[in-house]
Amino acid sequence: MYKPTHVKNALSAIEKSNQINLIVSNYCRVFSDTNDKSIRTEHIAKTLSLLNISPYIIVVAFQRLSMTQNEMPTLNQVLNVIRSVEKTAGVIAHNAPKPINAWHEVIRHLSAITPPAWSHPFIEEAVYSIGKRYIMENEWEARDLFINVYKELCEDELNRTLICFME
């Protein structure tokens, strides 16, 4: 049975894929012509669409590549620059735990009498936005909600950081 969220998720995935295709094709025009340019561009765009990479990261990566290269980059070159951008700009730099690890931390601290010392402020923000009581009463439903809210907080921070890099 399909829920409205499935349709919304599918549409956002298609929208993100189209956005990534546009980013890659626009930046690949910067590089000198090669015979396999359109094939390589399509391959890079499809691969990046399948990976869960923020379009902001892709923009920054291609900006860096266009400043340092004269020819069309390979997929490995693009992925290496993307990893470098992620390490310097985003969630990794802020030491945010993976969503499932953050959830396990929430579960461990649910019954604490005193306010817990969260390992990262995004965990605390996600717990308070959902509500501790709701999490305690609806643990299984709250898990998915928490993970989505937490991922969104991490991605928003990553995007804010990347926008600063782009300026």
Measure the CA–CA gap between 82 and 54, rounded to whole angstroms: 10
Name the pLDDT band for 1 (thresholds 50, 70, 90).
very low
Give the rounded percent of residues in the chain with a pLDDT score beyond 70: 76
With 0-12 / 13-18 / 19 or more C-beta atoms within 10 angstroms meaning exposed / middle / buried, residue 11 is exposed
Q: Quick check: pTM over 0.85?
A: no
Give the rounded percent of residues in the chain with a pLDDT score beyond 90: 8
* DSSP codes of every residue in 98-162: PHHHHHHHHHHHTT-SSPP--SSHHHHHHHHHH-HHHHHH-HHHHHHHHHHHHHHHHHHHHHHHH
DSSP 31: S
